[in-house]
Structure 1
Amino acid sequence: MKFPPYKSTFSLTGAINTKKVIRYPLGFSDNTSFEKTQNKVCTEFVDAIFDEYLLHGAKIEMGKVNLKKDLSIDVKHNFPFFKMHFEIEGSSSYSPRNEKSLPVIIPNGYHQLFFFPKVDGVLSFPANITRNTLEITLSLSFVHKVFKDNWEELERLGDAIRNNQPFVFGEKSHKINSEMLLVIQQIANCKIDNHYRTHYLECKIIELLILQLQDFKDRSKDIHIIRHHDKIVEAKSFIEENISGQLTISSIAKKIGMNTQDLKKEFKINFGQTIFKFITARRMELAEGMLKSSSKSVYEIAEIVGYKYSQHFTKAFKKYFGVNPSTYRKET
């Protein structure tokens, strides 16, 4: 049997029997019209619904994903990977296995544009955030069709494609602007008949790509540089390892060697929520598990998850789940 040349492989990091292989024809579709499929995933830790559009030379994926636990996915693509990525809500990061490749960090409300000759690494997504994303993967034939040999229009990205080298627009994360959001909405709400839809979507992809290139070119915009990604990850680990303690912004900042303002700002950019909300979510998850599976009293659970006074824990639990801990235990 002859398989299509494009191959994508996904599996949950550290888990067995979760491998999924997806194959596409050269350029994602060998039809002149578009193909649309809708995918739904519902498990104990993820609820997702997203649409996939396959055009000749382009793949569009958009939808919403609600994660109940942090998720890491091993991913491989055996084809040149030119991607336009928009994290409308939520955040994601990619860590390559090959030290010669490049990481990609796309915070909440930001976009990125990158090229990899091949992909082999780990995708990571934080829990308790509903991700609303648009991801457009282009074949190099599509890029050639748009820009011909005018690689200078793609600036450094064009040089990387010509030299078959990985490229990401630095560590600078650019906010999705109103013009981009309008085009994203037009793609999502497209009602044009099948006969013309392919041409319409191709035009919108090109328009969105040009908006991205223009945004990256304009260095005078207010661009937030993620300077302390490793320290922010360290802060997250410190919180999770010391969730029973009296955690404060100042104590976390002191532990990782950052000032409190940078810590608060960059934590939210990286993980899509404030440190306070992250700590509360982790404490509530831990408390929920103990209410379901242990006979510990509410007072004991409050102490274990870092609350000095049980009444403060009860108030926080009710705000988070809608009922107090005792009622929750009875109902479950």
Structure 2
Amino acid sequence: MDKKRRKKTSIKTEIQDPKKTVSLSTVTELIGSGERCGIITKKFQFLPQYGIGYFQTHKFEGLSITIYDVLLEKNLIVEGKLYDNFLEMSFLIEGEQIIKIEGITKDLVYESQECYLLYLENIKGSISYHKRKRLKEVKIRMSTDFIKRHKLDEEYNILEKHSLLKLQSKFLNPLCSKTQNILSEILSDQRKGLLKRLFLESKVLELVTLKIDTATTNIITNNLPPIDNLVKKLYQVQHMISSDLSVQYSIHQLSREIGLNDFILKKEFKALFGKTIFEYATKLRMEKARQLLLHSKKPIYEISELVGYKNSTHFTAAFKKIEGTTPKKYRSNLEN
């Protein structure tokens, strides 16, 4: 960041402590930095008395990606006024934040398994984080140059549709399984240099695409009620099912995991996703099986285990019921 921009941006960070107020630079230390192929990476570790964990940033050509993973030992308040305009995506994998924004009277409670896409212009406000709670978040900022380069506003009018002033407090959405899978890829990626840069940019555009798709199906609207606990729990079930298809969860296991009774879970899952849990899981299993049959040379018994069937005979029967043919014949037809 150049000197001119530093003068225009005022950020104040406080630790709630009856004895003192300190800056973010006081509670963290730089433990790694570097630049390669135009991507600048910095990693900061929290000092033990303030938290156990880190935050890391990757910056290049109008794109900034910050990953937070820390268990705070003290309450943290970040206050600031930002003069730059940018498109921001945030994905709160774990934790809770209280967001106060000047011009919006109601405090916004941002909770685990939620996300947002907002265009921010000259905003002032604060974010509060609670002690003894883990904060795990991926935050992405895209400059107006980045937006123009990828024609996001030209094609989708994204700045107006996702303006904070237009959406006010109704901009939070639950994390869907596709989003969680992309986030998992970002968090586990070990690439360096140009490959890292290309990977991150592609994943950011993939996340933006998902958010635009969400907007076009009217999930984000000015009439959207606040996300309740039930919807978030249902999306949690969706993610559990889709993240590891080799596991076949029973309704009771899923109910116990998210804290809902069996009847409510079955009823509300079908109302939200249009399929029963069994139908939804089977659809995903058969989609993955088709891909493996098409793009791999794995034997049928191994594909069977990968999609959650310990017995290949049961897998063959389930596949034939949906596809009208056995996995072996399906693969043979593709090869001919």
Category of TM-score, reference length = shorter chain: 0.5 to 0.7
Structure 1 alignment gaps of length 5 or more: 22-29, 228-332
Deviations 1:26-45 (A, max 9, x none): xxxx9962111111012434
Question: In structure 2, what is the Cα distance between the partners aligned to 1:130 and 1:60?
Answer: 19
Structure 2 runs not aligned, ≥5 long = 26-34, 229-336
Equivalence for 1:85: 90
Which has the higher mean CA deviation after the structures are superposed, 190-199 or 121-130? 190-199
For 1:121, the equivalent position in structure 2 comes to 125
* CA apart distance, 1:144: 1.3
Q: How many residues align?
A: 213
- Cα distance in 2 between the residues matched to 1:218 and 1:224: 16
How far apart are the structure 1 equivalents of 2:123 and 2:131?
Answer: 24
Name the aligned partner's letter for residue 226 of structure 2: I
CA contact (8 A) 2:170 2:225 kept: no
Task: State yes or no: 1:174 paired with 2:173.
Answer: yes
Distance 1:214 1:111 in 2: 14
> What's the counterpart of residue 238 of structure 1?
none
**TM-score for the superposition, normalised by structure 1:** 0.55
CA distance in 1, matches of 2:106, 2:146: 23
Quick check: 1:75 aligned with 2:85?
A: no
Q: Match of 2:150, SS?
A: helix
Partner of 2:211: 212
Change (3 A) 1:203 1:76: same
1:48 corresponds to = 53
Partner of 1:57: 62
**3-state SS of 2:41 partner:** strand
Matched, 1:225 2:226: yes
1:152 to 2:156 alignment: yes
Structure 1 partner of 2:5: 5
8 Å contact 1:102–1:167 — kept in the other structure? Answer: no
Once residues 77 and 116 of structure 1 are traced to their aligned partners in structure 2, the CA distance between those partners, rounded to angstroms, is 9
Hey, what does 1:110 align to over in structure 2?
A: 114
CA contact (8 A) 1:87 1:107 kept: yes
Change beyond 3 A, Cα 1:104–1:140: farther
Partner of 2:134: 130
The more displaced of 43-52 and 203-212 is 43-52
Given that 1:84 and 1:114 are in contact with CA atoms closer than 8 Å, whether structure 2 keeps it comes out as yes
In the alignment, the residues of structure 2 paired with residue 71 and residue 155 of structure 1 have an alpha-carbon distance, to the nearest angstrom, of 30
Residues 224 and 42 (structure 1), Cα distance of their counterparts in 2 relative to 1, 3 Å cut: farther
Q: Which residue of 1 aligns with 2:103?
A: 99
Is the CA contact 1:94–1:121 (under 8 Å) kept in the aligned structure 2?
A: yes
**8 Å Cα contact 2:36/2:194 also seen in 1:** no
Aligned-partner residue type, residue 47 of structure 1: I
Runs of 4+ in 1 over 4 A off after TM superposition: 13-17, 100-104, 167-170
1:230-254, Cα deviation, whole Å (9 max, x unpaired): xxxxxxxxxxxxxxxxxxxxxxxxx
- After superposition, the C-alpha distances for 1:174-232 in whole angstroms (9 at most, x for unaligned) are 111111111112222223341232122111111111112222443469x86258xxxxx
- Contact 1:80-1:115 within 8 A present in 2 as well: yes
The 5 Å alignment of 1:34-45 reads 34-45=39-50
The 3 A distance-change label for structure 1 pair 167 and 80 is: farther
Equivalent pair of 1:114/1:169 in contact (CA under 8 Å): no
Question: How far apart, in 2, do the equivalents of 1:211 and 1:202 lie?
Answer: 14
TM-score by length of 2: 0.54
1:20 deviation in Å? 5.4
Q: Which residue identity is paired with 2:60? A: L
**What secondary structure sits across from 1:150 in the alignment?**
helix
Q: Identity over aligned residues, as a percent?
A: 15
Superposition pairs of residues 242-253 of structure 1, within 5 angstroms: none
Q: Deviations over 1:264-307 (max 9, x none)?
A: xxxxxxxxxxxxxxxxxxxxxxxxxxxxxxxxxxxxxxxxxxxx
What is the correspondence of 1:241-320 to structure 2 with a 5 Å cutoff?
A: none
Work out whether residues 114 and 167 of structure 1, in 8 Å CA contact, stay in contact via their aligned partners in 2: no
1:184 corresponds to: 183
Secondary structure, counterpart of 1:210 in structure 2: helix
Distance 2:155 2:165 in 1: 16
1:58·1:137 contact (CA, 8 Å) conserved in 2?
yes
Asked if 2 retains the 8 angstrom alpha-carbon contact of 1:63 and 1:133, the reply is yes
Cα pair 1:81 1:119 within 8 Å, conserved: no
